[in-house]
Amino acid sequence: MQRIAPALRQDNVPLDLISLIKTVLAACKEISFRVGQGHLSGVMGSTLDENIQGEVQKELDVVSNQLLKDILLESGFVKAISSEEEDTSVAGNENGKYIVSFDPLDGSSNIEINSLIGTIFSIMEAPEGMSADNPDMFKQPGVNQVCAGYVLYGPATILALTTGKGTHFYTLDKTHGSFMLTERNVMVSEETSEFAANMSNQRFWHKPMQNYINDLVAGTDGARERNFNMRWIAAMVGDVHRVLVRGGLFTYPADTKDPKKPYKLRLMYEANPMSFLIEQAGGLSVTSEGRIMEMQPTDIHQRVEVILGSKNEVEKCLSYYK
Ligand code: AFP
């Protein structure tokens, strides 16, 4: 079984990008340990602070963010970082080649119930001619990503990673601390009978999504003439991992619950990296209006509608919008 560095060299990934990926993973190994310690880690509570999203920060959110921020900014490879937990981008090495966006702990409302959580990251090259403290560096479409991945903190600690040459799974061998290649070229099945949505929002969805999900729930009694199963982990990292492993359709659609916040998931450090992984595995990742990775970001904390997963099922969902 291959360790991650030789596996990436086999894909001709530049050596400095391999080093940067290993830097991200060094922080994720520390996060994995602390998450695995549960209440013994002493950081399972909530802080008195809110992040820019207006969400109460869990202690593990803050610790995970600090671990990633520190190790990336002192690595020398990174010109700037942006994070769900940082109001704006944070400058690193003025001559750094890469910029990194991350959600340090996605699904943090699952921490207290010992359920799935993870770190999501997206790496792009720093554009020429912008200073390290200019957040506009991050306003690049997702097609500019050179690497994307997540580390899922579950019974096993699993890394899903792409550098544009397929999506691959690595498993952390906790006996020696290396991520080992455990599945090359993961492929999302084109068909599925499984979907993931927060059904409590259904009455706020736009009509096409309401009709599409109603037909899934109607099963053999409805237009689809077959039954579907539903899963909802409430951590994108867990739901997307299930889609990569056994197919499915995951959606967090636009809703009218709060007119000031029609979308929930963040483009730069949730939707774009997950879209890269899903597309490299043969799936689709779209809004009702087009491919997520072609969107031109206007803000580093921009939110977006997400419909992703098994190609034929995503296309079926989009047919309801015609
Ligand atoms: P938290 O990190 O605040 O738990 O949010 C997780 C998330 O951004 C995404 O990972 C989930 O898919 C989605 O929110 C869950 O949202 P609901 O709370 O509406 O289920």
Of 164, 183, 202, the last residue of a domain is 183
Per the prediction, the chain carries an average pLDDT of: 96
Task: Tell me whether residue 134 is annotated as binding.
Answer: no
Q: Does the structure show a pLDDT above 90 at 40?
A: no
Residue nearest to atom 1 of ligand 1 (CA): 107
Based on the domain organization, do 178 and 202 belong to the same domain? no
Q: What pLDDT shows up at residue 55?
A: 73
Q: How far is the CA of 116 from the centre of ligand 1 (A)?
A: 11
Pocket lining for ligand 1, CB < 6 angstroms:
55, 106-109, 198, 234-236, 252, 264-265
Of 126, 160, 183, the last residue of a domain is 183
* 188 within a domain of the structure (yes/no): no
Q: What is the DSSP-derived secondary structure letter of residue 126?
A: P
Q: What pLDDT shows up at residue 41?
A: 78
Q: Could you report the per-residue pLDDT of 191-247, keeping only the tens digit for each?
A: 999 999 999 999 999 999 999 999 999 999 999 999 999 999 999 999 999 999 999
Cα–Cα distances in Å, from 284 out to 20, 40, 186, 274, 279?
Answer: 27, 40, 14, 10, 6
* 78 within a domain of the structure (yes/no): yes
Based on the domain organization, do 171 and 241 belong to the same domain? no
Report the CATH number that the domain containing residue 135 is assigned in CATH. Answer: 3.30.540.10
Q: Does the structure show a pLDDT above 80 at 36?
A: yes
Atom index in ligand 1 nearest the CA of residue 235 equals 10
Closest-CA residue to 69 (of 54, 50, 88):
88
Q: Could you report the per-residue pLDDT of 275-313, keeping only the tens digit for each?
A: 999 999 999 999 999 999 999 999 999 999 999 999 999
Q: Could you report the per-residue pLDDT of 238-266, keeping only the tens digit for each?
A: 999 999 999 999 999 999 999 999 999 99
What is the DSSP annotation of 128-155? TT--TT-GGGG---GGGEEEEEEEEESS
Residue nearest to atom 13 of ligand 1 (CA): 234
Cα–Cα distances in Å, from 275 out to 72, 249, 297?
Answer: 23, 13, 15
Residues in contact with 162: Cβ distance below 8 Å, sequence separation at least 6, in sequence order: 147, 148, 149, 168, 276, 277, 280
Based on the domain organization, do 30 and 179 belong to the same domain? yes
Q: Using the CB atoms, write b or e for 83-114: b if 16+ within 10 Å.
A: bbbbeebbbbbeebbbbbbbbbbbbbebbeee
Residue 54 banded pLDDT, cuts 50, 70, 90:
confident
Q: What pLDDT shows up at residue 150?
A: 99
Atom index in ligand 1 nearest the CA of residue 106 equals 2
State the residue for tokens 């560095």: 5
Q: What pLDDT shows up at residue 50?
A: 74
100 neighbors 81 (Cβ within 8 angstroms): yes
Q: Could you report the per-residue pLDDT of 85-141, keeping only the tens digit for each?
A: 999 999 999 999 999 999 999 999 999 999 999 999 999 999 999 999 999 999 999
Atom index in ligand 1 nearest the CA of residue 266 equals 8
Q: What pLDDT shows up at residue 189?
A: 98
Residue nearest to atom 2 of ligand 1 (CA): 107
Based on the domain organization, do 179 and 209 belong to the same domain? no
Cα–Cα distances in Å, from 248 out to 228, 231, 253?
Answer: 10, 9, 15
Q: What pLDDT shows up at residue 57?
A: 72
Q: Does the structure show a pLDDT above 80 at 53?
A: no
Task: Tell me whether residue 173 is annotated as binding.
Answer: no
Q: Say if residue 182 is exposed, middle or buried (CB neighbours under 10 Å; 0-12, 13-18, 19+).
A: middle
Based on the domain organization, do 175 and 210 belong to the same domain? no
Based on the domain organization, do 147 and 30 belong to the same domain? yes
* 116 within a domain of the structure (yes/no): yes
Residue nearest to atom 18 of ligand 1 (CA): 234
235 neighbors 247 (Cβ within 8 angstroms): no
Helix (H) / strand (E) element for 63: namely helix 59-73
* 174 within a domain of the structure (yes/no): yes
Based on the domain organization, do 206 and 286 belong to the same domain? yes
78 neighbors 98 (Cβ within 8 angstroms): yes
Based on the domain organization, do 143 and 198 belong to the same domain? no
Task: Tell me whether residue 103 is annotated as binding.
Answer: yes
Of 183, 210, 232, the last residue of a domain is 183
Based on the domain organization, do 169 and 226 belong to the same domain? no
Based on the domain organization, do 20 and 146 belong to the same domain? yes
Based on the domain organization, do 145 and 245 belong to the same domain? no
* 189 within a domain of the structure (yes/no): no
Determine how β-strand 229-230 pairs with β-strand 194-196.
Answer: parallel
Q: Does the structure show a pLDDT above 80 at 56?
A: no
Q: How far is the CA of 57 from the centre of ligand 1 (A)?
A: 13
What residues make up the domain containing 135?
4-183
- CA 78 from chain centre, in angstroms, equals 20
Q: Does the structure show a pLDDT above 80 at 58?
A: no
Q: What pLDDT shows up at residue 38?
A: 87
Based on the domain organization, do 166 and 273 belong to the same domain? no
Q: How far is the CA of 234 from the centre of ligand 1 (A)?
A: 5
* 16 within a domain of the structure (yes/no): yes
Q: Give CA–CA dist 285/250, Å, rounded.
A: 9
Domain count, the chain: 2
Atom index in ligand 1 nearest the CA of residue 198 equals 20
Q: Give CA–CA dist 322/308, Å, rounded.
A: 18
Q: Give CA–CA dist 265/47, Å, rounded.
A: 22
Q: Could you report the per-residue pLDDT of 151-197, keeping only the tens digit for each?
A: 999 999 999 999 999 999 999 999 999 999 999 999 999 999 999 99
Q: How far is the CA of 130 from the centre of ligand 1 (A)?
A: 33
Task: Tell me whether residue 264 is annotated as binding.
Answer: yes
Report the CATH number that the domain containing residue 287 is assigned in CATH. Answer: 3.40.190.80
Q: What pLDDT shows up at residue 59?
A: 85
* 30 within a domain of the structure (yes/no): yes
Q: How far is the CA of 120 from the centre of ligand 1 (A)?
A: 13
Task: Tell me whether residue 38 is annotated as binding.
Answer: no
Residue 49 banded pLDDT, cuts 50, 70, 90:
confident
Q: Give CA–CA dist 140/124, Å, rounded.
A: 8
146 neighbors 123 (Cβ within 8 angstroms): yes
200, 265, 306: which to mutate for ligand 1, most atoms within 8 A of CB? Answer: 265
Measure the CA angle with vertex 161, ends 155 and 162; round to 5°. 160
